[in-house]
Amino acid sequence: MAYVLQGGGSLGAYQFGVVKGLLEAGYEPDWIAATSIGAIQAAIIVGNPPEKRIEKLERFWDEIAPGNFFDFLGESDITLDFYNKLSAACALLFGQPEFFFPKWCTGTIPLWGDPTTLSYYDTTPLRKTLLDLIDFELLNSCPIRLSLGAVQISNGHLIYFNNINYRIEVEHIMASAALPPGFPAVNIDGELYWDGGVHSNTPLEVILEAIPAENTLCFLIDCFGGRSFIPKSMSEIEERRKDISYGTHAQRTIYNYLQRQKMRNSMMELSRILTDEQKKESAHLLDIGSPHHCTLVHLAYSSRIVKAASKDYNFGRVVIKKRMECGYSDAKAVLAEESQWGYLPEDGKSRLYESPNNFSRLFRKRKKEVF
């Protein structure tokens, strides 16, 4: 069983709600691939015993989004828009406790120099928070495989820090969440890294390319790809740009994977009618048709509680709680339809299941597609 956790800043609260629902229902992952805020939450999951995972994730959000004196404004539909703007402005101007603070506070915003110092914000508080919340000995000995995406600045390559091949330390998590130009690059063994979302915000490929020849259940938790709309203001244009930039890569990855599955299934069908001699001559092609089962459950954040480009850096406590509730509700809705995706698919087939609240589900004739 695998989780794929996207980046998305404060939208990661939705991600937490989904994960909470899955963990409570007993859907413990064997592998988590993640980037950015997803990498932070994945590391907290893997770096804690099962009975403490939800508690530590809740503590993380309590610490970085503790609330403000004006939170009452977020409780009314009349003042919600103003509350959203005010919360986002506070994050930009003053940062978030236990997460990051603006360098203007210290009077140092370098315009040139080393990428590890070139940023608008200082993420030293995040380092301390991660060290407080994560047991790194457990993280590196845990049977759950952890893959954290980061981009090498020098060549633009996307790499994954894996607790099977690397000893994961706090620097690896911070590298996966080092989104420029807000956050500084992280130096690991002489190589500079940025947030994996700069290259791919949906680390789904690393799971799909390594799926063994057995049934795999993969939960893709999408922070950006839930609801489409036509922008009617400059702010909505930027909001929609982010949705497309950070969310549509998942759609393309899923489409390409399912097309490859069709080819694999065709090769398996072909192998059944070939003679032994023909099979021997075509062995290199028939290997493509090896059984490769995957059920992909796609959950996407579809609520537009925050209708603005600032939705990924709006850490208003009221909004954070609503996103958590939305994610938890979506997880429960998916679990209620377990009969749609919870069974072993036909031999050699993979399945895509869209959660009930996914906007993309409206464009499908069926609730599930089998390939």
Active site residue 350: no
87 is catalytic: no
For the chain, where are the alpha helices, taking DSSP H only?
A: 12-24, 37-46, 53-64, 80-94, 124-133, 136-141, 170-176, 205-208, 234-271, 276-281, 283-286, 317-336, 338-341
Contacts of 260 (CB under 8 A, 6+ apart): none
Q: Any bridge partners for residue 33, and if so which? A: 4, 147
Q: Which residue from 214, 205, 206, 204 is spatially nearest to 293, judged by alpha carbons?
A: 214
Choice among 10, 36, 350, 360 that is catalytic: 36
Q: Which long-range contacts (CB under 8 A, 24 or more apart) does 84-90 make?
A: 84/305, 84/306, 84/307, 84/308, 84/310, 84/311, 84/314, 84/316, 84/319, 85/308, 85/310, 86/316, 87/314, 87/315, 87/316, 87/319, 88/306, 88/308, 88/310, 88/313, 88/314, 88/316
Q: Cα–Cα distance between 200 and 206 in angstroms, integer?
A: 11
**Catalytic-role residue among 87, 147, 195, 222:** 195
Q: Which residues are catalytic?
A: 36, 195
